[in-house]
């Protein structure tokens, strides 16, 4: 292995510490703590773990955590009524409805109902449109965390060739928009791309978010590339990313491990978005 390891765990801890330092000034000015509401429907074990760590890290940053748990068979109307209640609650700055939602729930309708100015996940189409057009809004936490790691490693990204693999609304599309806004030349590839190695050969930056273990091979990479692996795939051998780590680490200049790379950034950026939301609402 010759690549440097990008330590997302340490970067996220530093970001959370910087956020925690800024919370007392908000409390002083507003007479209350920034508040994040998290809604969990059902018992999905991975979601329950995420929600518990969100609550813990929110409180550790000095913010208020409001946790709402609904049973797996809760209906659409109940969930929409809860979202409306949180939209109207002055103590709530940010609202996050944990995905995935049970199959009988129309997730798009739920996300559309969240007040875009409390949408700290950045999933509302209004915020996707703001990102696409360069207006201030909320950016999804995982891609924003990836951008922070890239800028920390590379400084100015202007003019670099970037390939994003994966076109989800949660990671791939906003990642491509963020890199475009930073003046990268961006290729948005995905599982159906013909000849992915052709695009990767010139890529200074690779962000893999395609949800397939070991999908990106080291021999496809440009020597010295910076590789961000967003994949969290549960396999028989434990957690693994979308990048074939061992082969990639012998070619790349820097690479994120899984776990300990991108994963810890998501909640840290969520806290950052919540503090931003709180300041904008008190503005
Ligand atoms: N499920 C997995 N990651 C996320 C996230 O960042 N936000 C929400 N709402 N659900 C998720």
Tens digits of residue pLDDT in 3-12 = 999 999 999 9
How far is Cα 227 from Cα 252, in angstroms, rounded to an integer? 7
Q: What is the DSSP letter of 90?
A: T
Averaged pLDDT, 264-280: 98
How far is Cα 2 from Cα 221, in angstroms, rounded to an integer? 14
Pairing of strands 238-240, 233-235: antiparallel
Query: 203 falls in which pLDDT band (50, 70, 90)?
Result: very high
Is the pLDDT at 222 greater than 80? The verdict is: yes
User: Which atom of ligand 1 is found nearest the CA of 97?
Assistant: 9
Which CATH code fits 141-263?
A: 3.40.50.720
CA atoms 144, 150, 152, 154: torsion sign: negative
What pLDDT is recorded for position 32? 98
Task: Determine the distance separating the centroid of ligand 1 and the alpha carbon of 123, expressed in angstroms.
Answer: 10
- Determine if ligand 1 sits within 6 Å of the CB of residue 98: yes
Nearest CA, atom 1, ligand 1: 99
Averaged pLDDT, 214-221: 98
Q: Which of 242, 222, 211, 250 has the alpha carbon at shortest distance from 161?
A: 222
- Determine if ligand 1 sits within 6 Å of the CB of residue 38: no
Return residue ranges of the chain for CATH 3.40.50.10860.
Answer: 31-115
What pLDDT is recorded for position 283? 81
- Determine if ligand 1 sits within 6 Å of the CB of residue 141: yes
How far is Cα 163 from Cα 245, in angstroms, rounded to an integer? 17
Tens digits of residue pLDDT in 62-75 = 999 999 999 999 99
- Determine if ligand 1 sits within 6 Å of the CB of residue 61: no
Angle 125-133/172-181 helices, nearest 10 degrees? 30
CB-side neighbour CA atoms (13 Å) of 235:
13
Which residues are catalytic, by number?
54, 98, 121
- Contact partners, residue 17, CB within 8 Å, separation at least 6: none
User: Which atom of ligand 1 is found nearest the CA of 96?
Assistant: 9
Is the pLDDT at 255 greater than 80? The verdict is: yes
- Determine if ligand 1 sits within 6 Å of the CB of residue 119: no
What pLDDT is recorded for position 237? 87
Q: Which of 241, 180, 183 has the alpha carbon at shortest distance from 210?
A: 241
User: Which atom of ligand 1 is found nearest the CA of 121?
Assistant: 7
Contact of 191 with 223, CB cutoff 8 Å: no
List the 226-229 sheet strands across, edge first.
4-5, 254-255, 226-229, 205-208, 161-165, 185-189
- Contact partners, residue 127, CB within 8 Å, separation at least 6: 116, 119, 137, 138, 139
Task: Determine the distance separating the centroid of ligand 1 and the alpha carbon of 166, expressed in angstroms.
Answer: 16
Task: Determine the distance separating the centroid of ligand 1 and the alpha carbon of 177, expressed in angstroms.
Answer: 19
Task: Determine the distance separating the centroid of ligand 1 and the alpha carbon of 150, expressed in angstroms.
Answer: 21
Contact of 93 with 119, CB cutoff 8 Å: no
Average pLDDT, the chain: 97
Is the pLDDT at 89 greater than 90? The verdict is: yes
Q: Which of 57, 125, 53, 115 has the alpha carbon at shortest distance from 90?
A: 115
Return residue ranges of the chain for CATH 3.40.50.720.
Answer: 141-263
What pLDDT is recorded for position 138? 98
Tens digits of residue pLDDT in 31-88 = 999 999 999 999 999 999 999 999 999 999 999 999 999 999 999 999 999 999 999 9
Mutate to test the pocket of ligand 1, among 121, 141, 168 (most ligand atoms within 8 A of CB): 121
31-115 carries CATH number 3.40.50.2000: no
Query: What is the pTM assigned to this prediction?
Result: 0.98
What pLDDT is recorded for position 276? 98
Is the pLDDT at 1 greater than 80? The verdict is: no
């Amino acid at each position: 292995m010759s690549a440097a390891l990008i330590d997302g765990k340490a970067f996220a801890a530093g970001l959370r510490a910087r956020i925690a330092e800024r919370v007392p000034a908000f409390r002083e000015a507003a007479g209350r703590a920034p508040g994040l509401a998290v809604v969990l429907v059902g018992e999905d074990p991975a979601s329950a773990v995420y929600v518990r760590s969100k609550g813990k890290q929110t409180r550790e940053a000095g913010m208020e955590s409001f946790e709402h748990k609904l049973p797996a068979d809760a209906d659409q109307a109940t969930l929409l009524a809860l979202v409306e209640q949180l939209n109207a609650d002055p103590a709530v700055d940010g609202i996050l409805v944990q995905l995935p939602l049970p199959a009988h729930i129309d997730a798009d309708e739920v996300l559309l109902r969240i007040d875009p100015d409390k949408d700290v996940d950045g999933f509302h189409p209004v915020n996707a449109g703001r990102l696409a057009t360069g207006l201030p809004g909320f950016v999804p936490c995982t891609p924003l965390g990836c951008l922070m790691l890239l800028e920390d490693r590379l400084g100015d990204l202007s003019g670099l060739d970037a390939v994003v693999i994966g076109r989800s609304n949660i990671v791939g599309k906003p990642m491509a928009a963020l890199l475009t806004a930073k003046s990268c030349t961006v290729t948005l590839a995905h599982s159906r791309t013909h000849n992915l190695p052709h695009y990767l050969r010139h890529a200074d930056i690779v962000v893999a978010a395609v949800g397939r273990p070991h999908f990106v091979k080291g021999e496809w990479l440009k020597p010295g590339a910076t590789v961000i692996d967003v994949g969290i795939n549960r396999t028989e051998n434990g957690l693994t990313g979308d990048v074939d780590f061992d082969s990639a680490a012998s070619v790349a200049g820097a690479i994120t491990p899984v776990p300990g790379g991108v994963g810890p950034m998501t909640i840290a950026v969520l806290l950052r978005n919540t503090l931003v939301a709180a300041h904008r609402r008190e503005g």
